[in-house]
Structure 1
Amino acid sequence: MVMMMMNSTQVLYFTLSAYFDTGVLKCLYFIIIMSLYVLIVCSNLLLIVVICMNRSLHEPMYLFLCSLFVNELYGSTGLFPFLLVQILSDIHTVSAPFCFLQIFCLYTYGNVQFYNLAVMAYDRYLAICHPLHYNTRMTFNKAVRLVVVIWVPPFFVVLVTTCLSVSLQLCGNMINRVYCDNYSIIKLACFDTTVNNIFELIAASLTVFVPVSLVSFSYMRILRVCFSGCKQSRQKAVSTCTPHLASLLNFSFGVCFEILQSRFDTKNLPNIVRIFLSLYWLTCQPLFSPVMYGLNMSKIRSMCKSLLLSSVRKCRPCGRFVQLE
């Protein structure tokens, strides 16, 4: 499979030209990126453990949250170890097979994130607009099927997109990014890329149109309930939807930054600004979501506190176990 990739592209490696000489700041950048990665892994993993270990959180809403945190761990792992290696390296090259593997990981992360946020909006719509029928309309089995829908179609779409890019004949190997990007590889193609462009357009339309339609439908109904209901209903809807809306807007802004940088000339911008814009959707969202949901959802907040307190009480300087009251 690896040899087939190399022969089909006629490129053994790609050079990432967006990196610049950081000099004595190399170690500082490494520490910052490493700290961000550790923070992302610990925060998302903590919430996954809290949701999985507490039976009171085995509800559809928390199942979708768990899927969201797993996806953020997946996307971060596809980026941060690679960035750490590149920061310490003096030659910023990546093998063709690994480059396409990274494209697959990062693009599936983005697609799954959009679908996950859309399903969460639909779940909030049912909880707010049909509270009495929520348990019958959103059963655990239906939630599991929705999680499958969140993950399987994006993986299939991105797999086809990546395979189409692998089959291209390339006339260069220079990518002006700090990580591998499918659109940058398509621009390196020697021949007509109509098939790639058409499929990418269809895939992008499905990735954006379906989630946006579901989110728009859900929040239109939620707003109707807010305006027609009592003050208590409005406050409950706002407190329930605030973390989701903030997470959705944050991720959407990051994707917009990525699209603008990919499609338009940003050579006049400083390198550090271009790198920040390209990494925003891959770094800020995995940091942002655990904070928003961990602080705003009382059940998760209380469970996290009890878990952390129990861990502290189990450890004394003498190493003895303290019996919890």
Structure 2
Amino acid sequence: MKNSSYLSPSVMTLGFGELTSMRYMYLALVVWGYLSTVLSNVSVILVIIIHKELQEPMYIFICALCFNGLYGSLAFYPSLFINLLQKVQTISYSSCILQVFAIHTYGGCEMTLLAVMALDRYVCICNPLRYNSIMSSAMVYKLILAAWSYPFILNTIHIMLTVRLPLCDSAILKIYCDNWSVVRLSCIDTTLNNTFGMVAIIALLVVMPSLIFISYIAILRACVKSSKDFRAKALKTCAPHLITITIFIVGVLFELFLYRFTPTAIPYALRVFMSVHFLVAPPLLNPLIYGLKLTEIRIKIIQQVKGHFRENIKAIDHENSSAK
């Protein structure tokens, strides 16, 4: 039987604090960030889908990464935009839990997809003759399914452990809901949640980076034994992936750093930056990195833009000639 002092808040308050003093500037940044993220990710996805010559394992994995970026952005930006419009920044408990699930699965999928992409680069560079037979279409889609299923299963269990907790407060210190922010409000012992949280961290933030590290050690060894041209080609295909990994890992380290300290001990502006980095930077920068670094994608995007521009010019010329 629950203690009568336990609360089951239907509404959670969010820690917007100083952000509301410049809400219109932040609203403009949110709109720009979300539109830029959607446009860049959708552009890469459409280019890969439209052009059959790009439907190879590496590009399909990039497409999956962009889909995940859109998913993470959808979990973050609309809620942020709505709250900046309101006088009091709140979120319903059910919406908060849904956001927790979406943000954590986005982060988990980003990590597992990066690990799968490292495996793909390993097979491509270290076993080039067997690459097509190993990375068949069936294998590629199985790897993507596994990369998405793994975090979804882990976070489903995580959320089930969280929603059972009675809460004694309703104040979320961040500008969005995450699992730790909800669990810390519990009135009862959270050892089980903390233990499973450690299991999830090891499964996603130790095992996956270890797979990436092992893959790149093997790639590095293969490059050392190969020609200069081979090393240059390997670096060209691996560089975007390494940059993407670095950006995401930095954001994850920011999050882990925040968990280790009392949030109020860190300056507010720095706390907000550190907490949103992994939600804002990867979805926004990943398609730009791959679009700029990988020649095939860059060429196809430029061709699409030029083709669309020519069609508009022709349409305008036709309208002008008809008017005359």
**TM-score bin (small chain):** over 0.9
- Indicate whether 1:271 and 2:268 are aligned: yes
The one of 80, 83, 86 aligned to 1:86: 83
Residue 215 of structure 1: aligned partner: 212
Partner Cα separation in structure 1 for residue 19 and residue 139 of structure 2: 52
Length-normalised TM-score, structure 1: 0.93
Partner Cα separation in structure 1 for residue 135 and residue 25 of structure 2: 48
Instruction: Kindly indicate whether the alpha-carbon contact (under 8 Å) linking 1:125 and 1:222 is maintained by their aligned counterparts in 2.
Output: yes
Could you tell me how far 1:20 is from its partner in structure 2? 2.3
- Indicate whether 1:292 and 2:296 are aligned: no
Partner Cα separation in structure 2 for residue 213 and residue 30 of structure 1: 39
Name the SS of the counterpart of 1:178 in structure 2: coil
Partner Cα separation in structure 2 for residue 114 and residue 35 of structure 1: 26
Partner Cα separation in structure 1 for residue 223 and residue 295 of structure 2: 22
Deviations 1:175-222 (A, max 9, x none): 111000110111111111121111111111111232122111210110
The one of 21, 27, 30 aligned to 1:30: 27
Partner Cα separation in structure 2 for residue 46 and residue 223 of structure 1: 32
Instruction: Kindly indicate whether the alpha-carbon contact (under 8 Å) linking 1:121 and 1:215 is maintained by their aligned counterparts in 2.
Output: yes
- Indicate whether 1:129 and 2:133 are aligned: no
Instruction: Kindly indicate whether the alpha-carbon contact (under 8 Å) linking 2:126 and 2:222 is maintained by their aligned counterparts in 1.
Output: yes
- Indicate whether 1:76 and 2:73 are aligned: yes
Instruction: Kindly indicate whether the alpha-carbon contact (under 8 Å) linking 2:7 and 2:168 is maintained by their aligned counterparts in 1.
Output: no
Name the SS of the counterpart of 2:17 in structure 1: coil
- Indicate whether 1:97 and 2:94 are aligned: yes
Unmatched segments (≥5 aa) in structure 2: 1-5, 320-324
Unmatched segments (≥5 aa) in structure 1: 1-7
Deviations 1:146-195 (A, max 9, x none): 01001112111111111111110111111111000110111111111121
Distance 1:37 1:221, change over 3 A: same
In structure 1, what residue type is equivalent to 2:233?
Answer: K
Could you tell me how far 1:18 is from its partner in structure 2? 3.9
Could you tell me how far 1:319 is from its partner in structure 2? 6.9
Residue 17 of structure 2: aligned partner: 19
Q: Higher mean Cα deviation, 265-274 or 182-191?
A: 265-274
Could you tell me how far 1:268 is from its partner in structure 2? 4.0
- Indicate whether 1:46 and 2:43 are aligned: yes
In structure 2, what residue type is equivalent to 1:219?
Answer: Y
Matched pairs, number: 313
Name the SS of the counterpart of 1:243 in structure 2: helix
Q: Higher mean Cα deviation, 220-229 or 267-276?
A: 267-276
Residue 10 of structure 1: aligned partner: 8
Partner Cα separation in structure 1 for residue 168 and residue 151 of structure 2: 29
Partner Cα separation in structure 1 for residue 216 and residue 297 of structure 2: 24
- Indicate whether 1:118 and 2:115 are aligned: yes
Instruction: Kindly indicate whether the alpha-carbon contact (under 8 Å) linking 1:129 and 1:222 is maintained by their aligned counterparts in 2.
Output: yes
Could you tell me how far 1:267 is from its partner in structure 2? 2.5
Could you tell me how far 1:262 is from its partner in structure 2? 2.5
Name the SS of the counterpart of 2:13 in structure 1: strand
Residue 65 of structure 1: aligned partner: 62
Partner Cα separation in structure 1 for residue 179 and residue 148 of structure 2: 20
Residue 3 of structure 2: aligned partner: none
Distance 1:37 1:187, change over 3 A: same
Instruction: Kindly indicate whether the alpha-carbon contact (under 8 Å) linking 2:19 and 2:26 is maintained by their aligned counterparts in 1.
Output: no
The one of 142, 147, 152 aligned to 1:150: 147
Structure 1 runs, 4 residues or longer, greater than 2 Å off: 17-23, 265-270, 316-321
Residue 245 of structure 1: aligned partner: 242
Partner Cα separation in structure 1 for residue 231 and residue 7 of structure 2: 56
Could you tell me how far 1:22 is from its partner in structure 2? 3.5
Percent identity for Structure 1 against Structure 2: 36
Q: Higher mean Cα deviation, 312-321 or 8-17?
A: 312-321
Q: Higher mean Cα deviation, 204-213 or 266-275?
A: 266-275
Could you tell me how far 1:260 is from its partner in structure 2? 0.8
Name the SS of the counterpart of 1:141 in structure 2: helix
